[in-house]
Structure 1
Amino acid sequence: MAKTGENLRDKSRWSLGGMTALVTGGSKGIGDAVVEELATLGARVHTCGRDETQLQERLREWQAKGLQVTISVCDVSSRAQREELMKTASSVFQGKLNILVNNVGTCITKPTIEYTAEDFSFLMATNLESAFHLSQLAHPLLKASGSGSIVLMSSIVAVVHANFGSIYGATKGDINILPLWHFEVMHTY
């Protein structure tokens, strides 16, 4: 048993040394914390975000801590940009990926009745379609690594009503039921 206050990262069982990870939306919020945690545990991490300035600021901070992180500017609501992101990750990680963290999530906070068709499409593409498509694109890299994992980030709003972002809640609720188990059932990584 670990002594009280003992840092779990000091234990070899918590090491991600030699592993690779792609984290979407890693420049702020939960994504930022996930990038830093994975890199602190020894993984080489590639992350993306829409804001290049914010990404560059975070990259400087991660590099100052000695963490192995690379970045790409990417709007995951764009299919073409998702495809380019996966090409970049494949190049950075020599065709192998151990961990895909589909973290990206955005919300438009206004009454549902005021959502435009563009608002709806943007939320669906960003929060739901991107996770599924990136998982498909990552599949060959995950399989090539011999040890692949897909992480889908959801939200409490997916299961509990909130007075904002009902479409956001729907996209995150769908994340909870994506048939990604099929990737694992059909293939042993």
Structure 2
Amino acid sequence: MAEKNESNNSEDGRWTLQGKTALVTGGTKGIGHAIVEELAGFGATVYTCCRNQEQLDQCLEKWRGKGYKVEGCVCDLTLRPQREMLMEKVINFFQGKLNILINNAGILLVKPATEFTEDDYSIIMKINFEASHHISQIAHPILKASESGNTVFISSIAGLVALPTSSIYAATKAAMNQLTRNLAYEWAKDNIRVNAVAPSIINTPLIEAAKKNPLTK
């Protein structure tokens, strides 16, 4: 792989995302934050969201200071109307065409399986699976309009193997993996590639937050 120069383009100029557009959910922390920086560093124009206005403003200020083209808004992905509001903003910002969708936002709550409550199940399912599915649905027209669409789900190794104290989280990631297969099959005709990335444990704020409060991401 060619080494990157300071602008994150390959030295021979072939590796670039100049002119491409991307939406990254949950882009102000952890994996999402790194993805925003990587995409923007390669020249893409990025839109992101989170639930905390102060956190979003701090990130946008830092990114703009680096010369990155990043915009964003506050959005609670547990709420269907807010997901629709997010996509309206994205459609307007990118003038109806989207090249890259990264379904990254997620939460983790660590508990023995016997201790999960109805509320635990609801919130984890809404953010980790329902929101990703819904965002993908309503992004489909503008991904198709780009004639080169890419959807990436940030899954987890927990969706592939058994791990302790994360049964509901693991179930949402397993569902995400199957959704990836189905959408890849259905949307190939629309020139939309669909993939999932399933990392193992990564040292991000999500890990510590999960031990205290699942709603902090």
Contact 2:18 2:43 in 1 (8 A): yes
Q: Which amino acid aligns with 2:129?
A: L
* Structure 2 unpaired stretches of 5+: 193-217
Q: Quote the offset at 1:57 in angstroms.
A: 1.1
Report what 2:205 is aligned to: none
Mean CA deviation greater in 41-50 or 153-162: 153-162
Report what 1:147 is aligned to: 148
Alignment of 1:59-138 (within 5 A): 59-138=60-139
SS at the partner of 1:23? Answer: strand
Picking from 3, 7, 23, the partner of 2:4 is: 7
* Structure 1 unpaired stretches of 5+: none
Report what 1:181 is aligned to: 184
Per-residue deviation, residues 20-68 of structure 1 (Å, max 9, x unmatched): 0000010000000000000000000000111221111111110110100
How many residues align? The count is 186
Identity over aligned pairs, percent: 49
Q: Distance in 2 between matches of 1:185 and 1:36?
A: 28
Q: Quote the offset at 1:174 in angstroms.
A: 1.0
Q: Which amino acid aligns with 1:85?
A: L
TM-score of the two chains, using structure 2 as the length reference: 0.81
Report what 2:47 is aligned to: 46
Contact 2:51 2:75 in 1 (8 A): yes
Q: Quote the offset at 1:136 in angstroms.
A: 0.7
Q: Quote the offset at 1:173 in angstroms.
A: 1.1
Q: Distance in 2 between matches of 1:187 and 1:14?
A: 24
Over aligned residues, Cα RMSD in angstroms? Answer: 1.5
Per-residue deviation, residues 125-160 of structure 1 (Å, max 9, x unmatched): 100011111111001111111211111110111122
